[in-house]
Structure 1
Amino acid sequence: MADRTPLELERFLPYRLSILSNRVSQAIAREYQDRFDLSMTEWRVMAVLARFDGDGISASEVAGYTEMDKVAVSRALAGLVAAKRVVRRAHDGDKRRSVLRLTAAGWKIHDTVAPLAREHERTLLGQLDADDRRALVRILDKLAPV
């Protein structure tokens, strides 16, 4: 019989981070799903488009910034374009490349959801004292530099 050492999933860092991420994301996701019929993936795409609004960015760049699967990003974008929250246009310098931008309707949703997201973050971080918050930021910067 093989000597087995089962993985204690509840103590495994990647699992714990995944659980925490899901809990945090799902708390606000329910709110924008109910209010705007907006999925978590769609919200993340919209947040990236808002953040890098300048000349518009491509779907591939969105996937890179979010580190989400290109298929998931493509599906989210299709829904956002159909709902007229995002517009897709040919790039001025390269007609083969399309760029994405939020529409006025997309910005209206973004400008409502972003403060809700920030408030959820404040509530979550409010459970930590100032030293713990600084330590958390330092740790995240080491493990997942931006």
Structure 2
Amino acid sequence: MSADDGEPGLKLDAYLPYRLSVASNAVSGLIARAYQDRFGLTIPQWRLMCVLADEGAMTQGQIVTRTFMDKVTVSRAAQGLAGRRLIARSEHHADGRSHVLSLTAEGRRLFGEIAPLALAYEAALISGLAPEEVSLLRRLLGRLQTAATALAGEGEPPPIG
């Protein structure tokens, strides 16, 4: 529907998926420059390292599920990190086609160096928000992610009108 027929049209700056994407890109771009310039890491590599630091050893498939990154992105990130000896690959005892990824000692050291910087960026980004606003934002983002996952599982877009 358009503004011409009296119905409200899509206004990009008011469209929540667009605003979320733009905000995410702005934050990711800011942080990506710091990780790339100082540590030679891409955002997917950093996310992979964070997941392994947080969750412990995982398969690439588990990382795909946990991060919502596609298989190719995870595979490339893992290859780059393995090449720098920041992660190790080992055989999956239950599935010979799969590998388990884990941080190496060097990967844990680098993660320990970067994590305070990541937290400082987060603190700077939310410094203009009250603690209850940050808490609300976290809850709302979680609910939006849950709703998006549920909608994706339905396989069809929601009905129009």
1:31 aligns with 2:48: no
Corresponding residue for residue 44 of structure 2: 41
* Larger RCO (CA within 8 A; separation ≥ 6): 1
Identity of aligned residues (%): 42
1:32-71 aligned at under 5 Å gives the runs 32-53=35-56, 56-71=57-72
Extract unaligned runs of 5+ from structure 2: 4-8, 147-161
CA radius of gyration, larger in: 2
Q: Is the 8 A contact 2:35 2:42 kept in 1?
A: yes
* TM-score (ref. length: structure 2): 0.79
Residue-pair matches, total = 141
C-alpha distance after superposition, 1:58-101 (max 9, x if no partner): 00101111001111111111111111111101124444431001
Residue 87 of structure 1 aligns to a residue in which SS? Answer: strand
Q: Is the 8 A contact 2:2 2:10 kept in 1?
A: no
Superposed CA RMSD: 1.7
Corresponding residue for residue 84 of structure 1: 85
* TM-score (ref. length: structure 1): 0.87
Corresponding residue for residue 130 of structure 2: 129
1:73 aligns with 2:96: no
Corresponding residue for residue 119 of structure 2: 118
